[in-house]
Amino acid sequence: MSEVLSFPKRETLPLAIGPSPMPLELRHLAFQADSIAILMGIDLKLDTDALTVLMGPNGAGKSVFLRLLHGLIKPTFGEVLWNGEPACAATRKQQALVFQKPVLLRRSVKANLSFALGLRPFQNRKQRLQSALDSAGLADLADRPAHVLSGGEQQRLALARALILEPKVLFLDEPTANLDPASTLLIEQTIQRVRQQGVKVILVTHDTHQARRLAEDVLFMHRGRLIEHSSAQTFFDRPAMREARAYLDGEILV
Amino acid sequence: MQDFAQSFVLAGQLVVSGDPALAEIVALSIQVTLTALVISALIGLPLGALLAVARFPGSATLSVLANALMGLPPVVVGLLVYMMLSNAGPLGVLGLLYTPTAMIIAQAVLITPIIIALTRQVIADLNRSYAETFKSMVVPAHTAIAALIWDARFSLLTVLLAGFGRAIAEVGAVMIVGGNINHVTRVMTTAIALETSKGELALALALGFVLLLMALSVNAAVALLRQTDRSAVHV
């Protein structure tokens, strides 16, 4: 992909790493569905605003992990603590999640954004709406029904809708899966911009190239366990675990 | 055979000339059914949507009940409303029996379960795709329900048309509670029944034409809306 379209190198990075706007702590986190263990024994602290990338093969439990962090599902055991407070509607209000397959309202692009704006007590909505449309490159499509947009445009709209809520934490579940390089680039640029603004980004991706471009902090999951947590440099240069090495080398990991 | 053919000609003339007796009956039918539909929609749309998105004590029972009551026999509804409104009944003091209001009540009772059950189905389908996103965005329940109703508006319009079609075509309930009084509670279906039994086939047929035309246009509208809905969603 990088041969076809040259992604800008991280000239501005590494960014200064500061404290997270919403420090996260996981204690003995486990999740079971129908008494099948999906996640087990996860202890973790994320207290910087470094961009965290979560990697691992399919079925490792990444999406479930993200939903647990966001409080969409409740852990079977253990705790998810944001600023020491269990994940709930109040913490969710300060976060946003962009799903792999965006769910958009059956309305226009503009109406999708203004629906989100209406959920929080924001001032000067018109201005916010316009700047969201502009920065997502959707201004020309504002009155189109969201469902006639292309996949890349839909994902940009989903991301714009998430960002218009001004989250402190942004979860992204494989946001560029099935997108072409141009759309991927636009989304990655947006992700880097919000990272610079101090938003804590937690990104799930299968694309190791993307992970290398964006990650400052890496979590690696395998079979429901969090087996590695290290800085991006360490992870990509000298992964500690055999599974992570195999995954990075492109071996098929089951 | 001569009589039979002549009835058709006469019926056609009645429709084309806009016969006042015919017009009065058609107008009352539409008025009664539209009013019943508005009442049923005001109850059925929010309740159906609520049953689709919320779980509260008795919500499952209500859903099953609404589904079961979709098949209410009109004569039974007529009988029950008659018993409520008759002089001996609990609402007898209101003196509503044999008035258009009584017919509106009967039709509303008949179609409210239909609106509830179909709305619940439509909204539940849409909510399956919206629920997780709404939970993530922390959308309050009333905003979520309003959004679901609005986004399902095309499908819900077909639900309302189904209710309208059922109410305008039924005869049993309005016959019992309305009494088919000329110039007061005579609607298309009861008039057809009466005129047929009197042997006045021309007026019965003319009314039949109008009723048929309405039923066909309602169904055509439903088909058209479904198509619009599908193309709006799946392009």
CA distance A22 to chain B (A): 17
Per-residue pLDDT reduced to its tens digit, A81-117? 999 999 999 999 999 999 988 999 999 999 999 999 9
Burial class (CB in 10 A: 0-12, 13-18, 19+), A241: middle
| Chain B interface disruption, residue of A64, A88, A105, A148, most B CBs within 10 A | A105
Smallest CA–CA distance from A90 into chain B, residue: B138
Say if the Cβ atoms of B143 and A118 lie within 8 Å. Answer: yes
**Mind telling me how many Å the CA of A179 is from chain B's nearest CA?**
19
Q: What is the mean pLDDT of residues A35-54?
A: 94
Please say whether the dihedral angle defined by the alpha carbons of residues B128, B160, B232 and B226, taken in this order, is positive or negative. positive
**A97 touches B: beta carbon within 8 Å:** yes
Residue A159 pLDDT exceeds 80 = yes
pLDDT band per the 50, 70, 90 thresholds, residue B5 = confident
Q: For A176, phi and psi rounded to 5 degrees?
A: -115, 15
Q: What is residue A51's predicted lDDT score, i.e. its pLDDT?
A: 96
Strands A200-204 vs A36-48: parallel, antiparallel or unpaired: unpaired
Residue, of B6 and B50, whose pLDDT is higher: B50
User: Would you place residue B11 in the very low, low, confident or very high pLDDT band (cuts 50, 70, 90)?
Assistant: confident
Which one has a higher pLDDT value, B55 or A193? A193
pLDDT-derived band at A241 (thresholds 50, 70, 90) equals: confident
Cβ-nearest to B133 among A89, A103, A106:
A103
Res. B2 pLDDT band, cuts 50 70 90: low
Structural contact between residues A119 and B142, judged by C-beta atoms closer than 8 angstroms: no
Interface of A with B in 57-76 (CB under 8 A): 70, 72
Strand partners, A200: A169
- pLDDT per residue over B30-68, tens digit each? 999 999 999 999 999 999 999 998 888 988 999 999 999
Interval A186-197 mean pLDDT: 94
pLDDT for the residue numbered A201: 97
Nearest to B172 by CA among B180, B184, B163: B180
Q: For residues B196 and B162, give the distance between their C-alpha atoms in angstroms, rounded to a whole number.
A: 27
For residue A239, pLDDT over 90 is answered with no
Domains annotated for chain B, with CATH where assigned, are: 22-234 (1.10.3720.10)
Q: What is the mean pLDDT of residues B205-221?
A: 86
Distance in angstroms (rounded) separating the CA atoms of residues B192 and B171: 9
Residue corresponding to tokens 């058609």: B26
- Tell if the CB–CB gap between B138 and A103 is shorter than 8 Å: no
Please give the pLDDT value at position B24: 93
For the cut 70, the answer to whether the pLDDT of residue B1 exceeds it is: no
B136, B143, B235 member nearest A70 (Cβ): B136
The pLDDT confidence band at residue B214, using thresholds 50, 70 and 90, is confident
Nearest CB to B136 within list A97, A106, A115: A97
Domains and CATH numbers, chain A: 1-14+49-71+88-94+167-254 (3.40.50.300), 106-164 (no CATH)
Given pLDDT bands bounded at 50, 70 and 90, which one contains residue B235? very low
- pLDDT at B20 > cutoff 60: yes
Q: What is the ipTM of this complex?
A: 0.88
